Structure formats: C-alpha cells, structure tokens
Amino acid sequence: MQKPKGTYDIFGKKADQMLYLRKLMNALMDKYNVKYFETPIFESSDLFHRGVGETTDIVSKETYDFKDRGNRSLTLRPEGTAGIVRCFIENKLYAENLPLKAWYFGPMFRYERPQAGRFREFYQFGVEMFGSYDPIMDAEVISILVNFFKMLGLKGIKVNINSLGDSESREAYRKSLISHFKPYLDDLCEDCQNRFSKNPLRILDCKVDCDKEFMKKAPKMTDFLNKESVRHFDMVKKYLDEMGIDYVENPNIVRGLDYYTHTVFEIEADIKGFGSQNVLGAGGRYNNLVQNIGGPDIPGVGFAIGIERLLLALEMEGIDITSNSDPEIYVVPMGKDSVLKAFNLVNVLRLSGFNTEMDYNNRNLKSNFKNADRLHAKFIIIVGEEEINTKTLTIKDNSTKEEFKIKLDKLVEFLDDKILSTNDDK
C-alpha cells in the first residue's frame, strides 16, 4: 500500500517544522487578537460553487466532489475562506461585537498536477476579518503576513498590491475587457474562451495566454476605479507607508477567486532557485461574499499561505526552523528489579517539566550509553539496587562525562539548575 499521488506523510523533521510554524502562528495571532477557528474538511458542494465561484479553476477543474450515502453532494474543502464564512453565518457571529478576527490552519484538497511545493492535499494558514469597510483592516491583514515572514527570517519580501474596485468599477472594467478581447476570441485558450462571457477578469490570470501581445495591451483596472474605490486604495497605501511596509502597485494582480473586491495583494520572496511561481501568501477584500453565501451585508478581508511553498522557501534560504525535541534526561534501569522504580522516576520527571526517555529493551549499560548518545540526551540517570536502597541517584552529564551522586529529594532542583545553566551557555 502506498499513499495517493500528490499527498505526503508528516513525521520526523517535517513534523517538527509543522509544529514550529503552528506555535509561531499562535503566538502572532494572540498579538493581533485573532481567534482560532476550525471548520469541517468537507462541506456542501454548493458552498464552494457560490463562494469560490463557478468560473474559477478550483471549482471547475480541481475540487474533490462526491456523493454521501444520503445522496448529498459534498466537496473536500479546496480553500479555507468559504468554510469560515459559512461558520460565521450559521452561528450568527455577526450579532457579536464586530470586527471578528479568525485564523485557521489545516489541510485543503485540489486535484492539480503535483510539483515542487504543490500537492493535492496541502496545508493552509489563513486569516479572515469581518465587519469593517475601513481600509485600515486591509493594511492590518497585509502587516500580519509581512511580520510573519520577518519572524521566520525570510528576506527580500515584496508586497504587490492592486485594487479591483467596488461593484460599479468592476462592471465598467468588465465591459471594457469584453470589448478588448472580443476580436481575439479565437486566439484565446479554451479556458479563457469560456471565461470570456462569465468572468473576463479571469482571462488576465491565464498562464497560457499571458505572453500574447493583446494580453499585454489589455485595459488596466486602475483606469476604471470610481472615486470611492480610489479613496479606499489610497488609504490602504497610506497605512502601509505609515507602518514602513514597502509595496509595489501591480495592475496585473486579479487573484484566482471570484469573490474579491477592492484591495488584492500577493507577497513574494526573492529567493535564488525558488522559481517564477514565488508567491508565498496572497489575499484581499471581499465585501459581498458573506451576503452571496446567504448572510447579512457584512464585509470581509483575509489571506492564505500555502505551508508547503513556505517550507520550500525556508529550505532554499537555509533557514532551519526545526525545534530541539531531544530528551533532556535518559533513565537507565539496572536490571529487571529496577524497572518499576525507574518507570516511576520517569513519570515524576515528566510531570516536573523535563523531556525524559528511558530504556524499554533491557539493554546493558554500554548499549544504553550509546542509545543516550543517539538520542542526544543531556543527562543520564542510573537506577539500580544501590540507588533504590540509598535513595541516591547516579547522574552523568553526557557532554562532560562528569558524574554526580544526588539525593532523590534534591533531584528536580539539581536538574533545574544544570539544565538552565546549559541552556544559558547556548
């Protein structure tokens, strides 16, 4: 038996990295007063058709759809926003004090061609904020991403921003795009021919036709923004300027999801060997999504990060985020009669806050010392008949090879001092 194509197992170093990222996310979210949410891995298919959009590649080509035993149409979630919005509406969270800030972390599923940093089952970290039309919320969401990448030690971070305007601006732009692309309809790829009448903005996001001359001469969204849309975009930029966040206005950013309005953004990393698809995180504002899914007229803004692409970027930059989970203490029972006392000692040490391991295979002393070395244990505690009778333990510092005789009731205090001083030296 083998894992399905486009999936991977998480263990060892990869598991350490995942856990480290979650801890960092949790710490950062606390600073922004963003609360953790978790939604089902599968939802009604209609949620993603109405939320993500019929014309997106995700819904039209990439979703894992199935019927359950009740003949209901269900879909493995391809992204996190729609599920969070459904939760927001179903639980009437809009009746609480707004804005509401939510974050999530978990697996998503898309049937696409696996490649470096891209899988069919992949993990996303995302933030969604509801209840404010103010552009300050757009800037705050962007700042979270920028600060997260800085905390990880990534350099060469580039923020690309654009505005898709409000509904009035988008409709004017839509008509202009239809007029522009109509003479070239036969030259468009099959997907873009289907997008032409449904959502011509998606043509601008095409990877097949992107280098054609008529694509380069397509009208720009910024030329069709009304006064309110221009004001909103200008204020986002002022807030970013105030925080000292550098950005580039990129009129070609439209994003691949139908629900965006006003601000859209992508954050890239300038990493040698990372490839042309160097976007690490992206998002934008979606003022109509909550209402489109069946909720009240409440705006939102958010982003998502693909964890696999992020880990690849960190590897390319030589940034090691593997946490040190080696045992601090390794307990060696000397003979079968000592196992019970050794096992109890391990339990006491763990409850006292020490990362503790023991010999489970009745090895001899020499083999145990080798095993302690393999585990990179800092201290070895020997529990034999003499230690049990005298309630005095033999402790070996595994780096200096120095041995100590410590009374059992002084053990925790001794280890606290020793391990703290070892950590301070680092």
Chain centroid offset of residue 366 CA? 44
Q: Is residue 417 part of a domain?
A: yes
The answer to whether residues 105 and 250 belong to one domain is yes
The answer to whether residues 71 and 95 belong to one domain is yes
Domain stop point among 316, 342, 357: 316
The answer to whether residues 43 and 142 belong to one domain is yes
Q: In the 8-state DSSP scheme, what is residue 30?
A: H
The answer to whether residues 119 and 38 belong to one domain is yes
Q: How confident is the prediction along the chain (426 residues), in pLDDT tens digits per residue?
A: 999 999 999 999 999 999 999 999 999 999 999 999 999 999 999 998 876 666 565 666 788 999 999 999 999 999 999 999 999 999 999 998 999 999 999 999 999 888 777 899 999 999 999 999 999 999 999 999 999 999 999 988 889 999 989 888 888 888 888 899 888 888 888 878 877 877 787 787 777 877 888 888 888 888 889 999 999 999 999 999 999 999 999 887 876 566 788 999 999 887 776 655 678 999 999 998 999 899 999 999 999 999 999 999 999 888 988 877 789 999 999 988 899 999 999 999 999 999 999 999 989 999 999 999 999 999 999 999 988 999 999 999 998 999 999 999 999 999 998 887 665 555
The answer to whether residues 339 and 312 belong to one domain is no
Is the whole model's pTM more than 0.75, yes or no?
yes
Q: In the 8-state DSSP scheme, what is residue 182?
A: G
| Sequence-ordered strand ranges (E) for 204-328 | 247-249, 261-269, 279-285, 300-306
Largest CA distance in the chain: 94
Cβ burial, residue 20 (10 Å; 0-12/13-18/19+): middle
The answer to whether residues 362 and 415 belong to one domain is yes
The answer to whether residues 129 and 66 belong to one domain is yes
Smallest Cα–Cα separation from 219: which of 265, 173, 253?
A: 173
Rounded CA-CA distance 386/393 in Å is 9
Structure tokens that stand for 375 in this block: 């585990």
Count of H-run helices and E-run strands, the chain? 15, 16
Domain stop point among 316, 337, 372: 316
200-207, long-range: CB < 8 A, 24+ apart = 200/174, 201/164, 201/170, 201/173, 201/174, 201/177, 201/254, 202/55, 202/56, 202/254, 202/256, 202/258, 203/177, 204/177, 204/252, 204/254, 205/254, 205/255, 205/256
The CATH number of residue 335's host domain is 3.40.50.800
Structure tokens that stand for 422 in this block: 């070892």
Q: Is residue 37 part of a domain?
A: yes
The answer to whether residues 245 and 296 belong to one domain is yes
Q: Is residue 215 part of a domain?
A: no
CA atoms within 13 A on the CB side of 74: 12
Q: What is the pLDDT of residue 403?
A: 93
* Contacts with 186 (C-beta within 8 Å, 6 or more apart), sequence order: none
Please give the residue range of the domain that contains residue 364.
329-425
With beta carbons less than 8 A apart as the criterion, state whether 121 and 107 touch.
Answer: yes
Q: Is residue 182 part of a domain?
A: no
The answer to whether residues 312 and 388 belong to one domain is no
Q: Is residue 412 part of a domain?
A: yes
3-12, long-range: CB < 8 A, 24+ apart = 4/120, 4/121, 5/114, 5/120, 6/111, 6/112, 6/114, 6/119, 6/120, 6/121, 7/119, 7/120, 7/121, 8/119, 8/121
With beta carbons less than 8 A apart as the criterion, state whether 285 and 166 touch.
Answer: no
Angle at 175 between CA 171 and CA 176, to 5 degrees: 115
The answer to whether residues 299 and 342 belong to one domain is no
Q: Is residue 144 part of a domain?
A: yes
Chain centroid offset of residue 185 CA? 38
Give the chain's domain count: 2
The CATH number of residue 306's host domain is 3.30.930.10
Q: What is the pLDDT of residue 114?
A: 81
Q: Is residue 391 part of a domain?
A: yes
Rounded CA-CA distance 195/257 in Å is 13
The answer to whether residues 297 and 368 belong to one domain is no
Q: Is residue 221 part of a domain?
A: no
The answer to whether residues 336 and 302 belong to one domain is no
